Amino acid sequence: MQLAKVIGSVVSTRKCDRLEGMKLLVAIPIDMDTFQEKGSPFVTVDTVGAGEGEIVMWCGGSSSRATEITTNKPVDATIIGIVDNVDILGKRVFTKGEV
Amino acid sequence: MIVGRVTGNVVSSNKSEKLRNAKLLIVQIVDIGTMEMKDDYLIMIDDVGAGVGDLVFGAYGSSSRQSDTSKQFASDYTIYGIIDSIDQRGKRTYDKAEEEDPCNWQK
């Protein structure tokens, strides 16, 4: 799994019917060293009601189809958790709500 | 899910039986942070009727064979949607309706 920050959303009316009702969000990878945004944004399917600005956990590949919402769906990146806090090497590097 | 601009197509008559009737489109990857087209191309199977100039998104690997029509193909990248709009950080960074010339690379 990897961390990312939700920064937006995508609207697509003409899409595969199995994607009907799926929430398409735009997320940007988070660098675990600095906890800053790094790299370019990508499109992911939300299964936990993540909102803009939230740090989330996502998984790719066939595992992205391992949730009830995304089983047998043409998805290769799924948000599977909203992060409350992160501790690395005994230090709290992230707490939800604290900037 | 990868995002790219459809810029062309591929015709192959002598190909795997598992690609018969597959529509093969050239997609140039777009960095949606800057909306710039990267120097990175893919051949993707079209599942939604996309055409040249469309900004599309698709899935990779086994996820590219997860629709009724694409599960029969030997595909590793399939187009599963044409993008209408993208909002980032509270701003609309892409809007299909407001695009004057989606094929501006042809100039």
> CATH fold of B2-11+21-100, please?
OB fold (Dihydrolipoamide Acetyltransferase, E2P) (2.40.50)
Cβ-nearest to A18 among B49, B67, B82: B67
Best CA proximity match to A39, nearest among A27, A51, A52, A25? A27
Q: How far apart are CA B7 and CA B34, in angstroms?
A: 18
Task: Supply A86's token pair.
Answer: 């992160």
Cβ-nearest to A16 among B47, B83, B87: B47
pLDDT tens by residue, B36-56: 999 999 999 999 999 999 999
**Mean pLDDT along residues A44-63:** 97
Q: Classify residue B93 by burial, with Cβ atoms within 10 Å: 0-12, 13-18, 19+.
A: middle
User: In this predicted structure, what is the pLDDT of residue B75?
Assistant: 94
This model of the complex carries an ipTM of: 0.91
Closest chain A residue to the Cα of B67, Cα to Cα? A74
This prediction's pTM? 0.93
pLDDT tens by residue, A2-53: 999 999 999 999 999 999 999 999 999 999 999 999 999 999 999 999 999 9
Q: How far apart are CA B25 and CA A98, in angstroms?
A: 45
Residue B104 scores a pLDDT above 90: no
Closest chain A residue to the Cα of B95, Cα to Cα? A11
Residue B105 scores a pLDDT above 80: no
**Which chain B positions have a beta carbon within 8 Å of A62's beta carbon?**
61-63
Q: Point out which residues pair with A85 in neighbouring strands.
A: A95
Closest chain B residue to the Cα of A59, Cα to Cα? B1
